[in-house]
Amino acid sequence: MTNFPQSHVTAGELDNATWRKSSFSNDQGQCVEVAPLADGSIAVRNSNRPDAGVVLFTGAEMAAWIEGCRAGEFDDLAGA
């Protein structure tokens, strides 16, 4: 059986996480933040609403997403 991270947790449960965001977001308020967690999962949240909760992904899921971004698979969503 594969262990998956919880699908959702509150931001309050992640007080010790080190959040970071893309330098391309500047100070425009368009920031998606990510934080690696001790269990190897990656937390993702909206920096404008950090208390709204997060979504967790496995390292493999995040790697697949990043590769898709690099390949341009989501370019149509930019500016949507």
pLDDT greater at residue 39 or residue 58: 58
The residue range of the domain holding 58 is 8-21+29-77
What confidence tier does 2 reach under pLDDT thresholds 50, 70, 90? low
Q: Are 46 and 31 in contact (CB under 8 A)?
A: yes
Judge whether 1 lies within some domain.
no
What is the residue type of 65?
Answer: W
Structural domain count, the chain: 1
Note the pTM of the prediction, 2 decimals: 0.76
Enumerate residues 6+ apart whose C-beta is below 8 A from 26: none
Give 10-37 pLDDT, tens digit per residue: 555 687 889 999 888 777 777 899 999 8
Question: How far is the C-alpha of 25 from the C-alpha of 31, rounded, in Å?
Answer: 6
Question: How far is the C-alpha of 55 from the C-alpha of 7, rounded, in Å?
Answer: 6
DSSP state of 8: E
Judge whether 3 lies within some domain.
no
